[in-house]
Chains A and B, each alone.
Chain A
């Protein structure tokens, strides 16, 4: 049976893994290669590297770390951040990444998704969606809305898209996988947004990855069982050693959730 995926996410700045505190004061967690290797060996099913250097200041960024990761790890990995064109995507994929993830550039130019899928194959085009629940929107009934430029607090802005309309749109354009970042949950470790991910699941017939809110092992089993997501992404619980991947997989197996043994 197809296993549910556990996906540690690493923020990268200038080739180092960092962790921001409210988007600022990024502290260096460590060198990217040994950390990538550590997670691969610990039983991660896939890794996501989010280049926060690239997305916020637009300058030409040294991406040679992508090659260094590809050299050492033997599980798939995805690179997000700063990929705006076919040329950017090609560079990253040629360096050995298995997938690329686009977010704000897809909002600016949705057809980019189709062009990338045509050239590189649907399977390697991931679309990241940053979604925020505005409780006052929609005449006070609340609405899930898509945000862009979330890598930089000063530039973060609401788009005209509601989350589920946008997911349907990007899937129809050829996205091979959706990562739904639930911004209200991000960093607070109170659990994934089950309600939102359930609704996203209903409109998403490609793999769907939950992101934002993981704090306990039960949060993982809840999101797999209740929202039927294909994978769950998390950062701080893994980086801070709150949850060991091996323990998590043992726990999920006990909950009768299909996982790949470490």
Chain B
């Protein structure tokens, strides 16, 4: 019986795109805890042939985009038609651009916030929104820890998740609320906790580190039929 179940779950091909960022292992383990197999890869064919694609990421957009370019994955990712789920920086990479480009100098966050044009990193341009410094007001940055969703849409990725549920966030940049927002969060101001367009879905929080509810989101992504996940 157990064998049969494994067979069913491996019938779909799941990949984690190797963006050269550090948290690939934790994403892989989160998928495996749900009983699914998944391959971490930067192989163009494997990514293209996958049924579901996860785009993880931590660190800076500049560093990650440089890796993606070096691996010749920009157009590959842009042309994917199967469901793609981005985590944290992976979500941010789905947007038009991010101002998280500058190196952390001793000026740190301050110089990022000033955000000159030089700091703008072109991203994959899959969801028409722009990542900007989080307007945290008097709150401390990074926005780190468990925070509640203040609004959750009926997007199927959020089946079983409601307003007020806690997720684990770690970031200093965010996408503003827009027509592509499918969940929001508040930290000094309201920002997109998740965005989606067509087959691309991105979460600003870390589902792989958000306990049972985070697992639920990964499970929804892996279990639902592709056409259910694609929301126009």
Partners in one complex: yes
Residue numbers of A with Cβ under 8 A of B are: 1-3, 5, 40, 45, 67, 70-72, 74-76, 90, 93-96, 98, 114, 117-124, 171-174, 176-177, 205-207, 230-231, 260-261
Q: Choose one: A1, A40, A75, A230; the contact of B144 (CB below 8 Å).
A: A230
1/0 per residue, CB under 8 A from A, across B163-197: the answer is: 00010101110000000000000110000000000
CA distance A189 to B26 in the complex (A): 34
Q: Choose one: A74, A124, A172; the contact of B33 (CB below 8 Å).
A: A74
CA distance A70 to B28 in the complex (A): 10
Given contacts A76-B168, A76-B209, A172-B106, contact A120 B144 (CB under 8 A): no
CA distance A174 to B144 in the complex (A): 15
B59 and A1 form a contact (CB under 8 A) = no
User: What are the residues of chain B within 8 A of A123 when measuring CB–CB?
Assistant: 58, 142, 144, 170-172
1/0 per residue, CB under 8 A from A, across B115-153: the answer is: 000000000000000000000000111111111100000
A114 and B105 form a contact (CB under 8 A) = yes
B104 and A117 form a contact (CB under 8 A) = yes
Cβ of B135 to closest chain A Cβ, rounded Å: 15
A70 and B26 form a contact (CB under 8 A) = yes
A74 and B144 form a contact (CB under 8 A) = no
Residue from A2, A40, A72, A260 whose CB has the most chain B CB atoms within 10 Å: A2
Question: Interface segment, B8-16, B70-78, B211-219?
Answer: B211-219
A74 and B210 form a contact (CB under 8 A) = yes
Cβ of B102 to closest chain A Cβ, rounded Å: 10
A124 and B145 form a contact (CB under 8 A) = no
A74 and B104 form a contact (CB under 8 A) = no
User: What are the residues of chain B within 8 A of A94 when measuring CB–CB?
Assistant: 22, 24-25
CA distance A40 to B24 in the complex (A): 20
CA distance A5 to B170 in the complex (A): 13
CA distance A95 to B24 in the complex (A): 9
B33 and A121 form a contact (CB under 8 A) = no
User: What are the residues of chain A within 8 A of B97 when measuring CB–CB?
Assistant: none
A120 and B140 form a contact (CB under 8 A) = no
Interface residues on B, range: 35 or more
Q: Does B49 contact A (CB under 8 A)?
A: no
Given contacts A114-B104, A117-B104, A118-B103, contact A3 B146 (CB under 8 A): yes
CA distance A116 to B109 in the complex (A): 15
Q: Lowest 6 CB-CB distances: which A-B pairs, in order?
A: A93-B22, A96-B25, A121-B59, A260-B146, A260-B166, A3-B146
Chain B residue at smallest Cβ distance from A125: B104
CA distance A118 to B146 in the complex (A): 24
User: What are the residues of chain A within 8 A of B160 when measuring CB–CB?
Assistant: none
User: What are the residues of chain B within 8 A of A93 when measuring CB–CB?
Assistant: 22-23
CA distance A4 to B135 in the complex (A): 20
Given contacts A74-B208, A174-B106, contact A120 B145 (CB under 8 A): no
A206 and B140 form a contact (CB under 8 A) = yes
CA distance A136 to B206 in the complex (A): 47
Chain A residue at smallest Cβ distance from B60: A121
Chain A residue at smallest Cβ distance from B57: A121
B146 and A176 form a contact (CB under 8 A) = no
Residue from B24, B26, B29, B186 whose CB has the most chain A CB atoms within 10 Å: B26
Chain B residue at smallest Cβ distance from A208: B140
User: What are the residues of chain A within 8 A of B171 when measuring CB–CB?
Assistant: 123
Chain B residue at smallest Cβ distance from A4: B145
Chain B residue at smallest Cβ distance from A2: B147
User: What are the residues of chain B within 8 A of A72 when measuring CB–CB?
Assistant: 29, 33
